């Protein structure tokens, strides 16, 4: 069990560019979540997948954001036409199984995005 892996760890880009982040969950974890965290705040939910199906998206996730989880394994989060307000830590988490709410989520190290 190697834990949740995220790549890259840091991304610096100019406003207006597109960026893509990758998350590899703990193997055999069916659920994968994306969160965003800004300084002084707790993580905020963006979207989650049950296997390959994207089941919920937050209102925080504008049309510039898209996430995929092909084949129910790794996931990608893409931000198009980045804006200053997109600067944040993007966190991926995974949890096993389906159904009940008793299974904790385990987080990756995050991708810190800085928009110049």
Partner 1 sequence: QKEVEQNSGPLSVPEGAIASLNCTYSDRGSQSFFWYRQYSGKSPELIMSIYSNGDKEDGRFTAQLNKASQYVSLLIRDSQPSDSATYLCAVPREYGNKLVFGAGTILRVKS
The binding site for partner 1 (CB under 8 A) comprises: 31, 33, 35, 40-45, 48, 50, 55-56, 89, 91, 93, 95, 101-110
CB closer to partner 1 out of 35 and 115: 35
Nearest to 58 by CA among 46, 43, 76, 49: 46
Using only C-alpha atoms, what is the Rg of the chain? 14
CB closer to partner 1 out of 9 and 81: 9
CB 28 → partner 1: shortest distance, Å?
Answer: 17
CB 81 → partner 1: shortest distance, Å?
Answer: 26
Between CA 32 and CA 15 the distance in angstroms is 28
> What is the phi/psi pair of residue 78, to 5°?
-115, 135
Q: Checking DSSP bridges between strand 111-115 and strand 10-13, what pairing results, if any?
A: parallel
CB closer to partner 1 out of 2 and 101: 101
Query: How many C-beta neighbours within 10 Å does residue 90 have?
Result: 23
CB 14 → partner 1: shortest distance, Å?
Answer: 23
Between CA 80 and CA 46 the distance in angstroms is 15
CB 69 → partner 1: shortest distance, Å?
Answer: 14
CB closer to partner 1 out of 80 and 109: 109
């Amino acid at each position: 069990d190697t834990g949740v892996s995220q790549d890259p760890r840091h991304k610096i880009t100019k406003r207006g560019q597109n960026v893509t982040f990758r998350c590899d969950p703990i193997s055999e974890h069916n659920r994968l979540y994306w969160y965003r965290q800004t300084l002084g705040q707790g993580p905020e939910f963006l979207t989650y997948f049950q296997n390959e199906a994207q089941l919920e998206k937050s209102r925080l996730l504008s049309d510039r954001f898209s996430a995929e989880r092909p084949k129910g394994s790794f996931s990608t989060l893409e931000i198009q036409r980045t804006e200053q307000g997109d600067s944040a830590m993007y966190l991926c988490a995974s949890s096993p199984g389906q159904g009940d709410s008793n299974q904790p989520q385990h987080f990756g190290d995050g991708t810190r995005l800085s928009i110049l």
